Amino acid sequence: MTAQATPVVEGRPASAAPAPGRANVVKMVVGLIGLVATVWLVANLFLAFAFYPDWFANNKILIAILALIVGVGGAAVMFFFLNQFIEGLPRRTSEGVIPYAFLLPAVGLMTLMLIYPAIQTVNYAFANKDSTAYVGLQNFRDLFSDNAFWQTILNNILWLIIVPAVVVGLGVVVAVLGDKLSAQGEKVAKSVIFLPMAISFVGASAIWGLVYAYNNVGQAQTGLLNAVWTSLGGQPQTWLQISTGRLNSILMMVILIWLQVGFAMILLSAAIKGVPEDTLEAARIDGASEFQIFWRIVIPQIKGTIVTVFITVVILVLKVFDIVYVLTNGNYNSNVIANFFFNELFANSQAGKASALVVVLLVAVLPILWYQVKHFREEDANR
């Protein structure tokens, strides 16, 4: 009787090959341990960068380079171990879990940086000024009984009424007029109009602070607005201190409009260029004027973009802070919600009242966010 040959698998006897189930378990264990170890190591390294810079010779450039290496390298290693863990799962489970698993780090980071602080802010809104004891609704009572709060709300409402409407209106006008220019002229004009978008809010406030600058009567007026005003026979004015008719607030709104028109122009110009030329030509053949074509054909077809730009600017206006802080710090009846919050938290050390203000702002923003999501879904459904 001849002996049967022992089957060989990848250079070794089949009896020595690891069972598939065992190999999967090893992958899962290695992946899980590696994932936890990588997250722990990366988190501790970033804490070291923040709290122990002397370990790195207090060299900011070195810390930045190391942070980049640790961040990118840590992410690559983390996803490697995550992939190992998922491959160790049963096939059906692995295929169902893998999309969510690779989204998990981003969702976790977003939760840590956005959702957790939001929950904590709501929690602190019901605590005292140093967040050591709960006081119920007292912060909200103090807030709603504060006349300065209602003046701030009124200012923000004016910002919401004026800025988004003017930004969208000017954006449409500039986009339409830019499309009438030659190709080279359009590039130059749109580049100049878009340029302020590259300037920070603080930088723009400093620039316009020079425009609104005031010198005493008899001195040369270096501020452009006062120079023009005095040349017309008027007396120099401290423009940012004039609260009559909310003039100082309107002058600060001009800065935000100047910054955002370029943003609106780019999006609206792209939308206008997307209007089918055949539709416009058919309207001209039917005898429609350019004005009628604009209002009855172009505007309805770019309505989605107009709404998107409008809502984006509304959200920006609700968060406006830098301009007011730099130019008036909320004085002369020019305060806005974000600056009011800053002063309550840092100047007045009223963490509870400041948190209550943020909760009010969050409640005000939620309907806008809901409408924006609803609008995006309707746009996608209509495509």
The pLDDT tens digits of the residues spanning 329-338 come to 999 999 999 9
Q: In percent, how much of the chain has pLDDT > 90?
A: 56
Q: Is the pLDDT of residue 225 over 80?
A: yes
**pLDDT for the residue 20:** 54
8 A C-beta contact, residue 258 and residue 204: yes
Tell me what pLDDT residue 17 has: 45
Which pLDDT score is estimated for 286? 86
What average pLDDT does this structure show over 249-254? 96
pLDDT higher than threshold 50 for residue 309: yes
Q: Which residues of 197-210 are buried (b: 16+ CB within 10 A; e: fewer)?
A: eeeebeebbeebee
* Confidence at 383, pLDDT banded by 50, 70, 90: low
In this predicted structure, the answer to whether residue 229 has a pLDDT above a threshold of 90 is yes
Most confident of 25-29, 111-115, 250-254, 375-379: 250-254
Is 90 exceeded by the pLDDT of residue 288? no
Average pLDDT over residues 292-320: 90
Per-residue pLDDT band at 40 (split at 50, 70, 90): very high
Q: What is the mean pLDDT of the chain?
A: 88
What would the mean pLDDT of 329-348 be, rounded to a whole number?
92
Is 236's pLDDT higher than 50?
yes
State the pLDDT at residue 15.
Answer: 47
Q: Is residue 8's pLDDT more than 70?
A: no
Q: How far apart are CA 214 and CA 234, in angstroms?
A: 13
Residue 1, pLDDT > 70, answer: no
